[in-house]
Every structure is written in structure tokens, then in C-alpha cells.
Amino acid sequence: MDVVMISKEKVLAGLAYVFGKLPALTIWLVKKDESRVVGFHAMQAFLYSVFADLLVLVLLTVQLFFLPFLAGLTWLLTNLVADGFAPESPVIFLILSMLMVLVFMAGIALVGVVAFGVNIFNIVGAIIVFSGKDWRYPVLAAWAEKSITVRHRDHEE
């Protein structure tokens, strides 16, 4: 693929990474036939943004299903531990409940850190593309390249 880009191509390709999946898809739909480079980067940015969103959604779903498990574990421990040590003592229930909340908050914070970390790659991609160099994700670049190749082959026929 030709890596030399004019200024407008650099900006459009970089913006596809910066603004996420819907602008990337829009840029791809508008520019896919005019510029292979912009089409490639817009498709790659779109695919990566979808991948990142799905990863965060999976992590949040796991966290959501983890909460009832954690609540059930807290109830079980409260009944078993509290009744064994100090029957009808609200202090043990309070401590276990606070631990449950802390574990859940740590899980949400971890999801936030992962979401931030995943999006850093798009910012790095944007910076590299704004500088006029090529940026490729390991697997997604092949998919993006395939969509551009098929698209241009269809137009040549």
C-alpha cells in the first residue's frame, strides 16, 4: 500500500482514529473510493473501535453478573461467620458488605483502566497517521486491507 499521503488524507485518516467508530465508518463510506489510504485507515479504526467496545462490554457484563455472586457470598458469609462468632452482630455484616462494595468498585475501576488502555492505541495510531506514516493493527489490518482490496476490485470491473 502506498504510504505517502497528502495533508487532507493524513487528517481524515487520523480523525478516523481519534473520534471512534461512527466517524470512522462515515469517513470510510465517503472516502473509500477516492483514497485507498484513507479508506484503509478508516476501516481499521472502525474495526478496532468495535473490538474495543466489545471488550469493554464483555468486561462490564462479567462485572454485572459478578455482583449477584458477590452479594450471595456476602450473605452466606454473614450468616455463617457472623452467627458463629457473634450472633446477630451487625458489625460483621457491615464489614463484609463494605468488602463486597470495595471488590465491586475495584472491578469497575479495572474495567475503566482497560477501556482507557485500549483507547490509547487509537490515539497512538492517530499520531502516527497524522505524521504521514503507516499504522497497522496485527489482525485488523488484514481485514481492513481485504475490505479495501475487494472494494477497489469491484470498481475496476
Q: What is the pLDDT of residue 153?
A: 54
pLDDT along the chain (157 residues), means of 10: 64 87 89 84 90 90 80 72 66 75 84 89 88 82 73 53
Residue 52 lies in a domain: yes
**Structure confidence at residue 113 (pLDDT):** 92
Classify residue 26: in a domain, yes or no: yes
Q: Looking at residue 58, what is its pLDDT? A: 92
Q: Is residue 29 part of a domain?
A: yes
pLDDT of residue 46: 92
Q: Rounded CA gap, 18 and 134, in Å?
A: 15
Number of domains into which the chain is organized: 1
Which of 29, 55, 40 has its CA nearest to residue 3? 40
What range defines the domain where residue 28 resides?
Answer: 7-152
**Inside any domain, residue 116:** yes
Is residue 81 in a domain? yes
Q: Is residue 2 part of a domain?
A: no
Of 139, 17, 118, 123, nearest to 59 by C-alpha is: 118
> Using CA atoms, how far apart are residues 48 and 19, in angstroms rounded to an integer?
12
Single-letter amino acid, residue 62 = V
